[in-house]
Chain A
């Protein structure tokens, strides 16, 4: 086992042995070049990036505070139940149950940390040694203890208040920074809201251009910027592949090559990309800020040139009443309303700007879709791994559970649950006006379908000899599932997830169309279609038509993308002539 070989092969091996950081150090130029590009891209949009970080942070805080109420909820239920018998018993019992629930939750968190997150083990630090099973249990108990101590410090000592204050301070700082630091695509830099001046030009808009042009420029900048980001990410992958990857060929190379020749899939990718850009940059693409135009229209004013040649002021709410597209009165796409506000896609029946609604509606759909599919796919993958590996009772129970859920029509199930939770004013129904609730319900309703879809492949991979080989040298079941089974299922779940994402968007739109999904004022495509439904045959046809076409395009695109991924994953579909499966020899 000596390292003193001096053959050239050996030197090359030594080079290849290094972790990524060391490999970059060897040859820093391409990486530095790429990273400086990333830095420039981030700096251009720094304000928006900081804002996004703040939003994600507050979402995490909301989730954590929701989880933190669970132990007390258990405890409260128990003490309520014991209320009638004995006062002290009720208090004690409630506290005991709440603490137990908290510890169980922390133990689960510790297990997840120990298995998937932490690269080192506590017991190695303290030098504890025993058999494998005991080591694993002790490790998790120790981690739980650490977490319990942390949680207790946070909950019962001034440390908690201090931390809260710190977090609030950081959040405020982020907020103020994101609003002061300029971004390339901010409406401060390229403003499109202005008014005609009495002498014929425009005031308050970008370079004195008309609002239409100012909006067009800002939207173009958004898409160009997003495209550059995408191209740069692709370039980053190429830099890694050409300069830093140790293997000169991986199976993924073939997948990408196949996808590049799949035009239907690329069409899907392009439309999905535009949809995502629209959702992420919704505030920049909207001609009017949604806060002003939709959420609180009567507390925001703007100037316009009155009929008598004087500059007058009006609230958005009042102006909206005169800009409705309801058959009698229409503000068509690409026109100005009476108050010289530019409406690229016209207005809604209640006078709001349609594009503002659609862009933020895309955001809603994307958040719900990603949450629902992400959660559902996670459940489906974990269950499929467990059932395929252990079979037997685990399998039967999962089949029963999934069959029970599938037996209820999905749409009916979603409607039932959403009515129960939203009528009960459950706190989960608050975020996004029921959007989060809908996402959770959809995840619950759609995991059985995904589990069914990947059940075959997971049973197949569980029968592979490499799984037996791993068992024969004593690999842990969790590691076998993660290393030897999950990568094969990942491809399949991606296909079904992208197909189902389209379905989720349709279901959410359909529910909102029926008035059950996301309530006003959070914008949602289905509700817009419903609002404009009765004007399709009038001059205000654009409301339902444009939103309907958007849904058709986006859902088709997700299906196309799913098709593309499936064909790219499947080596059987390979028609390429430059297959890289050669080069077995040295």
Chain B
């Protein structure tokens, strides 16, 4: 395993054949409340390139912001910050007629074929509408073009006057694809185009998309959560977690030799057809953090199996680390929750509140474990603070002892803005977003080997 690890100041190298350049893109959803100042950070600083003619896969768990990213690229959502340069023009600044003109270059295939076609219109009207909007040639030529598109996506020309009701899911998705192709765009965002379809139909649609890409020289951004489909169709893959790109690189390389701990975990979740396989699954604990309150430091730090551990605790048992991680999430959660007067009184009188009893929590997390005395002292003190509802103090103490660079601590000083960098991890320009690629730390691979052996 020889990886050339170089921290990269300009995260993306220049490439002549770049079609879309995305730089530090952020899309936040402002809350609807009047005093709601914490936006949901759906896409939180993303930079990558999409090359002409390639298929870039975008994978990640539900809610990681991949659909929002796709919609922002097409200006269906307004970017909060950053740039999207499409053939050199920053499309986030376009409006009015420029935006309208640009829209014909970039189109989208939607996830749900039931909802993406207006079922009061005939197929012909649906596919024709983009042409009408952009006043493409004469009405007669438009109709002719629609018929050719129906041919191109494998439907019959007689379907022109049918209604969407009369078609199956796979056929409806073909209609959606035909509409997408109507304006002959260069770039298409495919938002989970097959996930709502039967498995047998999925293959047909995937093959159709590949054929069309060849025929019309299309560039795809393929958003999916089905990794096997991604491996089949994509040239490069970007792995997304909590609004960040964790790793991006050529598909085969990324699948066979993942660099980022999150990619490791994601790939280990692919079921192995061989029942005797002794592949070790990396099980992630808990759920992704709330994108309204992302963790400081690395977004994956709260669940990372290869998290950098502070000196002195390197040999601590995995289960204790898991306990510490859960405890910290719990404290963060408690810090955000406000205690009502009623709950204060209930707590004072010794009744159960929704905050629970900290001692019980401790018992649950660490009761059956063999916790070293040194660690136990710290934890007890933390628990004591938390029981007095001084969550901030408890978190500070926990972080002092167990915080590392992954949580945004540089030399034991908290630095909220400290984030990992995108390190180039291979010859092909693959990049990974993890502190472990820094020379001072060991690579994720070796850590996984170590930790699974211990």
Contacts and interface: CB of A to CB of B under 8 A. Distances in A.
Interface in B57-91: 71, 74, 76
A12 interface: yes
B113 to A, nearest CB: 9
Contacts of A3: 144
Interface string A484-496: 1001100000000
A9 B158 contact: yes
Contacts of A582: 166
Interface stretch (A23-31, A182-190, A248-256, A407-415): A248-256
A466 B129 CA distance: 11
A469 B116 contact: yes
Contacts of A474: 99-100, 103-104, 130, 133-134
A584 B171 contact: yes
Interface of B: 71, 74, 76, 96-97, 99-100, 103-104, 107-108, 110-112, 115-122, 129-130, 133-134, 137, 140-141, 143-145, 147-148, 156-163, 165-168, 171, 176, 179, 182-183
Contacts of A12: 158
Contacts of B162: 247-249, 583-584
Contacts of A10: 157
Contacts of A583: 162, 166
B97 A473 contact: no
B115 A472 contact: no
Given A247-B122, A488-B120, A586-B159, A473 B96 contact: no
Given A472-B76, A474-B99, A247 B115 contact: no
A266 interface: no
Contacts of B166: 249, 581-584
Contact of A469 (B100, B110, B120, B168): B110
A251 B165 contact: yes
B133 A473 contact: yes
Contact of A465 (B116, B121, B129, B137): B116
B179 A469 contact: yes
A9 B157 contact: yes
A484 B115 CA distance: 12
Contacts of A246: 122, 161
Contacts of A468: 71, 76, 108, 110, 116
A397 B116 CA distance: 30
B367 to A, nearest CB: 47
Given A16-B160, A131-B97, A473 B134 contact: yes
A133 B104 contact: no
Contact of B156 (A247, A488, A586): A586
A475 B133 contact: yes
Interface string A559-584: 00000000000000000000001111
A484 B164 CA distance: 14
Contacts of B118: 464, 466, 483-484
A13 B147 CA distance: 9
A13 B157 contact: yes
Given A132-B97, A475-B129, 4 more contacts: A246-B161, A465-B116, A469-B110, A479-B133
A39 interface: no
A471 interface: yes
A414 B252 CA distance: 74
B179 A1 contact: no
A37 to B, nearest CB: 28
A583 B161 CA distance: 12
Given A1-B144, A465-B112, A584-B168, A133 B97 contact: yes
6 contacts: A1-B141, A13-B160, A247-B162, A466-B117, A472-B103, A581-B165
Contact of B110 (A13, A465, A483): A465
Contacts of A483: 118, 121, 129
A17 B140 CA distance: 9
Interface residues of A, number: 39
Contact of A133 (B96, B112, B117): B96
B108 A249 contact: no
Given A465-B112, A466-B118, A469-B116, A131 B141 contact: no
A469 B144 CA distance: 22
Interface string A2-13: 010000011011
B76 A471 contact: yes
A216 interface: no
A473 B103 contact: yes
B104 A473 contact: yes
A416 B163 CA distance: 50
A470 interface: yes
Contacts of B168: 584
A487 B112 contact: no
Contact of B163 (A250, A470, A488, A586): A250
Nearest to A479: B133
Contacts of A488: 120
Given A250-B163, A584-B171, A586-B159, A473 B183 contact: yes
A487 B122 CA distance: 14
Contacts of B143: 17
Contacts of A581: 165-166
Nearest to A13: B157
Contacts of A466: 115-118
Interface in A441-472: 464-466, 468-472
Contact of A473 (B71, B120, B129): B129
B34 to A, nearest CB: 11
Which of A246, A466, A476, A488: most chain B Cβ within 10 A? A466
Contacts of B171: 584
B110 A131 contact: no
A472 B97 contact: no
Contacts of B182: 473
Contacts of B158: 9, 12-13, 586
Nearest to A250: B163
Nearest to B158: A586
Contacts of B111: 465
Contacts of A1: 137, 141, 144-145, 148
Contacts of B140: 17
The 7 lowest CB-CB distance pairs between A and B, nearest first, are A131-B97, A473-B130, A586-B156, A465-B116, A474-B103, A247-B161, A465-B115
Contacts of B108: 468-469, 472
B28 to A, nearest CB: 17
B167 to A, nearest CB: 5
A83 B165 CA distance: 67
A487 B125 CA distance: 15
Contacts of B96: 131-133
Interface in A104-140: 131-133
Which of A131, A133, A472, A581: most chain B Cβ within 10 A? A472
Nearest to B106: A472
Contacts of A476: 133
B183 to A, nearest CB: 6
A132 to B, nearest CB: 5
A582 B165 CA distance: 8
